[in-house]
A and B are shown apart, each in its own frame.
Chain A
Amino acid sequence: MSYFIDRRANARHKSAVNRQRFLQRYRSHIKRAVEDSVNRRSITDMERGEKISIPSRDISEPVFRHGQGGKRTIVSPGNKEFVEGDRLRRPGGSGGGGGAGEGSASNQGEGVDEFAFSLTRDEFLEFVFDGLELPHLERKQLADVEEVRPVRAGISREGVPSRMNIVRSMREAQARRIAMRAPIKRALQEAREALELEEHKDPVLRNPSRVKELRDEVERLEKRLETVPFIDTYDLRYNNLVDQPQPSNKAVMFCVMDVSGSMTQTHKDIAKRFFLLLYLFLERNYEKVELVFIRHHTAAKEVDEEEFFYSRETGGTIVSSALNLLNEVIHDRYPPGQWNLYVAQASDGDNWDDDSTNCRHILSDKLMPLLQYYAYVEITPHAHQALWEEYERVAAHHPERFAMQQIVEAGDIYSVFRELFRRRVVA
C-alpha cells in the first residue's frame, strides 16, 4: 500500500531555528568576519549578504577517533601497476595514502579546514549593527526641504507656445468659426434668395437697382465669410502649470573626516561604521542619496570613498578648511532648495588652536541654515579640546539639528542615532 502526500505547501525553513542557533553560537566568529567585510566593502554596498568562513577546528564536534600511527591495512580501488610486496614511500610525510580522503587539501578554491556558508542580507545587517542596538530603521517624518515642482492645473488662455494645447485650441477655433460665420451665412442665403427672386421676375417688373444692390450685398457677404480666420490668437489655449511645493526625495550626505596623523586606522574604522549608519538611515528615507567625501588635514579635499578611508596622511589639522570646502560644494552642486543636506563629521578632536572659533562662525553663519542635520562624532578617549567646546555652542543654538557625541568604541555610535531618532519622534 502506498500513498502520496503533497507537502510543497507546508512551511519551509524548518531549519530556521537551527540556523539561528548556529549563528548565535558562533556570533563572535561571524562578527569578526562581518567586521572585516564591512571594512572591505563600500558603504553603499551593504545591502547584500556575505560569505563567511569559520575555521573548521573551531566548530568541529569532537568524537573519539583513531589518530595517525599504529598499523593498519587500507583497501583502495583502482590499482594500476602495484603488485604484492611493492614498497612505496609515504606520500607527503602523512600516513595513509588511501583512507577516506583524510586531510586531503581541496583544490576547489577553499581549504577543507574552512567551514563556509552564506549570510542573508538581513542577517548580515544584523551583525553589522550588533552591539549598536539600532532600532528598526522606520521611516520617520523628517523636516524635509520644500522643493517646488510644476503641476498641471487645467487650461489657460496665456502661455508659451511650447505648452500650447493643440486639440483645445482647434476646438476653440472651430467653435469661433461656427459662431462667426453663421450670421453671415444666413444673411448671404437671404441675399441670394432675394437676388434669385428678383432675377426670375418678369423683366418689366425687374428693378435693376435692386438687383445691383443685392449683387453687391452677396459679394460683400462672401468676402466677409472668407475673412473669418481659420484660427485666431483668441482661440489659443495653453496647458496651465502651477508650482506646487513638494518635499524633496533627494538627499546628499557629506562625510567629513579628519585624516591627520593622529587618526589611526581604528579611528577610521569606527568612523566608517558611523557613516554607514547614517547612510543606511538616509537610504531608507530618500529615493536618492548621494555621497560626498571630504577629508582634511591642514587642507581639505574632496575624494572618492577608497581614498577617503584608506589613504594615509600626516600633518596638522585645520577643520575650517573642510567646512569651507563643504560650503563651496553645497553652493556649486547641491542647491539647498532641492537637496536635503546631511553632514556627518568624524574627528579625534584635534584642531589648530585659533581655528575652532572659525569653525563655529562658519557653521552658525553659513552652514547650519542650509543643513537638515549635522552629526559630529569625536573618537577619542581623552579630554575634549577647543573644537568640542566651540561645537557645543553651535549645538546650543541649533538643538534640533546639531548632534555631537563622543565615541570611544564602535558600540558608542548608537547614542548619536538615538538622539536623532528621539527628536524626530517628538517632532
Chain B
Amino acid sequence: MAEIGTITRDEEFLGKGSDWNFEDLEHYQREIDRIAKDYRLDTYPNQIEIITSEQMMDAYASVGMPVGYHHWSFGKQFLSVEQAYRRGQMGLAYELVINSDPCIAYLMEENTLMMQILVMAHACYGHNSFFKGNYLFRTWTDASAIVDYLVFARRYISECEERHGVEAVERLLDACHALQSYGVDRYKRPSPISAEEEAKRQQEREAYLQTQVNALWSTIPQPPREELLQDDDDPLGLHQRGRYPSEPQENLLYFIEKNAPLLAPWQREVVRIVRKLAQYFYPQRQTQVMNEGWATFWHYTIMHRLYDEKLIGEGIMLEFLQSHTAVVAQPGFDSPYYNGINPYALGFAMFTDIKRICEHPTEEDRRWFPDMVGSDWLETLHFAMNNFKDESFIQQFLSPKVMRDLKLFALLDDDRDEMLEIAAIHDDQGYKQVREALSIQYALGHREPNIQVWEADVRGDRSLTLRHVSNDRRPLDKSVYPVLRHLHQLWGFAIKLESVNDHEVTQRYQWPLPEGE
C-alpha cells in the first residue's frame, strides 16, 4: 500500500509545472537532503526564507547581511540593483545565502518550481556545506555568532546616531569603509565574535580603551630594555627609542582602533564593528571560484540524480539545463559580454574535471596528477573543498584539459615595453605558466596593494606613516588621496604613505597635501 502511495505521489510531482507550493518545496527539500547525505555533504541546518522580489533587492543591497546598519552606500547599492532589475538587465538573485548557523537562504516567490529546487540544491547544500567545511571559513568566521553580532552592530550604530548625530556617524563609517579591506588579520586567527560578549564587555572596554590610548600618548612608551647607545648629538637617547609600532601592522583599522589619538570611545567601537564585519567577509573574497564552483557542481549533480530517480520530469530538467548553461557560460575575452573570468564557469569546470581525472584519467592526467588518478572522486573533491582557497586551489588542481577547454592564455603587460606580449597559452610549454599566472591573479595579496602601518610618530608630530610595498612596479591608483583623507580623519594628524620598490622609496604621498600643491 505504502509503495503504491509513494508512486502516485512521485508521479504527481513529476507532472508538476512551474507553480510551486510549500508542500512541493518540503518534498524536494527532503529528497535533496537525502541525496546530499549520500554524497556526504555536511551542512548547517537550513533556514529557507520565501521572500518577494522587493525583499530580495533589499537583501542584495545590504551585501548579504540579513540585518545591516544604515549607511548611504547601501542605498546606492539598492538603487543600482533596482535600476538594473527594472530594466531587465539582471535576473534577480539566482541565489543569496548567508554564512550563518542556521544557514539562511532566500527563495524568491516569483521563481518557478525548477528554480526553487535549483536554488535549494545550490545554496542550501552547495554553499552551505562549503561554509561549514572550508578551512578559511572554519578559521575566520563564526557562523553561529554572526546574526547576533549584526543585530548588535545595528543597534549600536543607531544608538550612536541618536547620541552623536547621523552625519557624524556617516562620516566615520565612510572613512572606515575606505579602509575596510585593510581591516583584516590575514595571518593571525581573530578571536571569535559574540554579540552577547561584545555587548557585555562594551562599557568596560570603552573606558579601558581610552585609558590605554591615553597611556600611549601621554607617557611615552618605555624603550625596549636595552643599553642606550651614547650619541654626541643625542646624549639622552631621545631618538633611539625605536619605531612605534616595532613591527609593521597589516591591520590598519585595528591599529587605528587601538592607537588613534583623538577618537572618542564610541568611534573606536564603530571602527571595531566595521573591522569585524570585514573580517567576516574576508574568506568569501578569497574563495569565490571554489565556493561558486562547488555549489554549481553540486546543484548539477543533485539535479541529475533527481532526474534519474524520476523525481523531476523532462520539462523541469530542460528548464534547468538552460538555466545552468547560462550560469556557467564563459564568453571569450574579445566578446562584448566579457566581464572577466566567470567564477561559476571556472569553478564548475575544475570540480567536474577533478571527478573525471579520478574516474577516467588520460595519459596526460597520469603525468600531471599521479596522486589523484584512481582515487575516490568524492574523497578527493571533499579534500579540495576543505583545504584550499582560490589561489592554492588553482595552483593545485587546474588541469591542462580545463585550460584547453577555456582556451586560457597569459598576457604580459609591462609598461616598459610598448607592446603587449603573449606570455603563454594553453599548450605543453604554457600550462604551468598559465596556471601560475591565474593563481596569482586570484591571490588577494596580489590583487590589492600591500599597505601596512610603518610608523606612528608618537614623540614628534604624531604623523602616521604607511608603507606600500610595490609589486612588479605596480603603482597606486589616484584614489589613494581620498583614502588618505579618510585615514587622516580617523587619525587626526598628518598621514604619509611611501611606496617602496626593492627597499627603495619610489613615491611619497601625503595628506594634508603640502603647501603649494
Question: Interface-forming stretch among B6-14, B211-219, B475-483?
Answer: B475-483
Are A84 and B430 neighbours in the complex by a CB distance under 8 Å?
yes
Contact flags (1/0) for A199-232 with B, using CB distance below 8 Å?
Answer: 0000000000000000000000000000000000
Do B50 and A82 touch (CB < 8 A)? Answer: no
CA distance A289 to B52 in the complex (A): 40
Q: Does B227 have its Cβ within 8 Å of any Cβ on chain A?
A: no
Mask, A317-329, CB within 8 Å of B = 1, is: 0000000000000
Q: By CB atoms of chain A within 10 A, which of B82, B86, B338, B437 has the most?
A: B338
Contacting residues of chain B (69-128) with chain A, CB-CB under 8 angstroms = 70-80, 82-83, 86, 89, 109, 124
Q: Which residue of chain A is the closest to B66 with respect to CB atoms?
A: A14
Instruction: Tell me, in angstroms, the Cα distance from A63 to B180 when the chains sit together.
Output: 8
**CB proximity of B278 to chain A, nearest CB, Å:** 11
Q: Which of A65, A74, A86, A115 contacts B413 (CB 8 A)?
A: A74
Q: Known interface pairs A2-B29, A2-B46, A76-B409. Does A15 touch B58 (Cβ–Cβ under 8 Å)? A: yes
Contact of A4 with B333 in the complex, beta carbons under 8 Å: no
Say yes or no: B472 contacts A77, CB within 8 Å. no
Task: Assess whether B202 is interfacial by the CB under 8 Å rule.
Answer: no
List 5 A-B pairs, minimum CB-CB distance, nearest first: A78-B332, A22-B75, A70-B474, A18-B75, A117-B79
Q: Residues of A with Cβ closer than 8 Å to B?
A: 1-8, 10, 12-15, 17-25, 59-80, 82-90, 95-101, 107-108, 115-118
Cβ-defined contact, A12 with B45, below 8 A = no
Which residues of the partner chain A approach B54 to less than 8 Å between Cβ atoms?
A: 12-13
Can you list, as one digit per residue, whether each of B163-182 has a CB less than 8 Å from chain A (1) or not (0)? 00010001000100111111
Q: Are A75 and B75 in contact (CB under 8 A)?
A: no
Q: Size band of the B side of the interface?
A: 35 or more
A-B pairs with beta carbons under 8 Å apart, 19 shown = A4-B26, A13-B54, A13-B58, A15-B74, A17-B75, A18-B71, A22-B79, A70-B471, A70-B472, A73-B413, A76-B332, A76-B333, A78-B332, A78-B333, A83-B427, A88-B420, A88-B422, A98-B411, A116-B83
Q: Pick from B49, B82, B89: contact of A118, CB below 8 A.
A: B82
Determine the main DSSP class of B at the interface with A.
mixed
Within 8 Å by CB of A2, from B33, B423, B425, lies B33
Q: Which residues of B contact A2 (CB under 8 A)?
A: 29, 33, 45-48, 124
Query: Does B416 lie at the interface of the complex (its beta carbon under 8 Å from any beta carbon of A)?
Result: yes
Q: Is B354 in contact with chain A by the CB < 8 A criterion?
A: no
**A21 in contact with B72 (CB, 8 Å):** yes
Residues of chain B lying within 8 A (CB to CB) of residue A25: 72, 170
Q: Complex: how many Å from CA A87 to CA B449? A: 28
B265-289 at interface with A (beta carbon < 8 Å): none
Q: Are A66 and B475 in contact (CB under 8 A)?
A: yes
B45, A96: Cβ atoms closer than 8 Å: no
* A201-B396 Cα distance, complex, nearest whole Å: 140
> Hey, which bits of chain B sit against chain A, CB under 8 A?
22, 25-26, 29, 33, 45-52, 54-55, 57-59, 61-62, 70-80, 82-83, 86, 89, 109, 124, 166, 170, 174, 177-182, 330-336, 338-341, 406-416, 418-427, 429-430, 434, 437-438, 440-441, 447-449, 451, 468, 470-480, 482-483, 486
**Complex contact A12–B58 (CB within 8 A):** yes
Q: Contact at A78–B334, with CB atoms within 8 Å?
A: yes
Q: Take A18-B74, A19-B79, A97-B420 as given contacts and tell me if A71 and B62 are in contact as well, using a CB distance cutoff of 8 Å.
A: no
Closest beta carbon of chain B to A343's beta carbon, Å: 41
Q: Give the CA-CA distance A264 to B471 in the complex, in Å.
A: 58
Within 8 Å by CB of A79, from B178, B180, B181, B407, lies: B407
Partner among A18, A63, A71, A87 whose Cβ is within 8 Å of the Cβ of B78: A18
User: Bound complex: CA of A64 vs CA of B451, how far in Å?
Assistant: 9
In the complex the two chains form, what is the Cα distance from A72 to B473 in whole Å?
Answer: 9
Are B424 and A84 in contact, with the CB atoms below 8 A? yes
Q: Chain B: which residue is nearest A1 at the CB level? A: B45
B58 touches A90 (CB 8 A): no
Provide the residues of chain B in CB contact with A85, threshold 8 Å: 421-422
Q: A74-B411, A117-B82 given as contacts; is B109 within 8 A of A66 (CB)?
A: no
**What residues of B have a CB within 8 angstroms of the CB of A101 in the complex?**
338-340
Query: Could you tell me if A88 and B332 are in contact, using CB atoms closer than 8 angstroms?
Result: no
Please give, as numbers and ranges, the residues of chain A lying within 8 Å of B80 by CB-CB distance: 115, 117
Q: How far is the CA of A67 from the CA of B418 in the complex (A)?
A: 17
Complex Cα–Cα for A98 and B62 (A): 30
Instruction: Note all chain B residues with C-beta closer than 8 A to A18.
Output: 61-62, 70-75, 77-78
Kindly list chain B residues whose C-beta atoms are within 8 Å of the C-beta of A69: 415, 473-475
Shortest CB–CB separation between residue A157 and chain B, in angstroms?
A: 65
Structural contact, B478 and A67, CB atoms closer than 8 A = yes
Take A8-B50, A80-B332 as given contacts and tell me if A15 and B177 are in contact as well, using a CB distance cutoff of 8 Å. no
- Cα–Cα distance between A284 and B474 once the two chains are bound (Å): 62
Partner of A14, one of B62, B180, B407: B62
- The chain A residue with its CB closest to the CB of B124 is A2
Q: Name which residue of chain A comes closest to B252, CB basis.
A: A64
Instruction: Report Cα–Cα, A65/B182, bound state, in Å.
Output: 12
Query: A118 vs B415: C-alpha distance in the bound complex, in angstroms?
Result: 41
Assess the A64–B71 pair: CB atoms within 8 A.
no
Q: For the complex, give the distance between the alpha carbons of A181 and B159 in Å.
A: 95
* B405 and chain A: residue at smallest CB distance: A77
Q: Are A98 and B473 in contact (CB under 8 A)?
A: no
Taking a contact as CB atoms under 8 Å apart, the answer to whether B483 and A64 are in contact is yes
| Contact between B422 and A14, CB atoms less than 8 A apart | no
Expressed in whole angstroms, the Cα–Cα distance for A90 and B75 within the complex equals: 38
In angstroms, how far is the closest chain A Cβ from the Cβ of B344? 13
CB distance from A25 to the nearest CB of B (A): 5
- Please give me the residue from chain A that is nearest to B345 by CB atom: A77
- Shortest distance between the CB of B125 and any CB in chain A (Å): 10
Q: Report whether A66 and B449 are in contact in the complex, using a CB–CB cutoff of 8 Å.
A: yes
Of the residues B86, B409, B441, contact of A82 by C-beta under 8 Å: B409
Nearest to A19 among chain B residues (CB) is B75
Contact between B33 and A21 (Cβ–Cβ < 8 Å)? no
Among A73, A86, A115, residue most surrounded by chain B Cβ atoms (within 10 Å): A73
Given contacts A75-B410, A77-B407, A117-B80, is CB(A63)–CB(B62) below 8 Å?
no
* Nearest-neighbor residue (CB-CB) of B482 within chain A: A62
Residues of A with C-beta under 8 A to B406: 77-78
Identify which of B46, B55, B418 contacts A90 (C-beta below 8 A): B418
- A5 contact from B29, B50, B77, B410, Cβ within 8 A: B50
The one of A5, A20, A21, A24 in contact with B48, judged by C-beta atoms closer than 8 angstroms, is A5
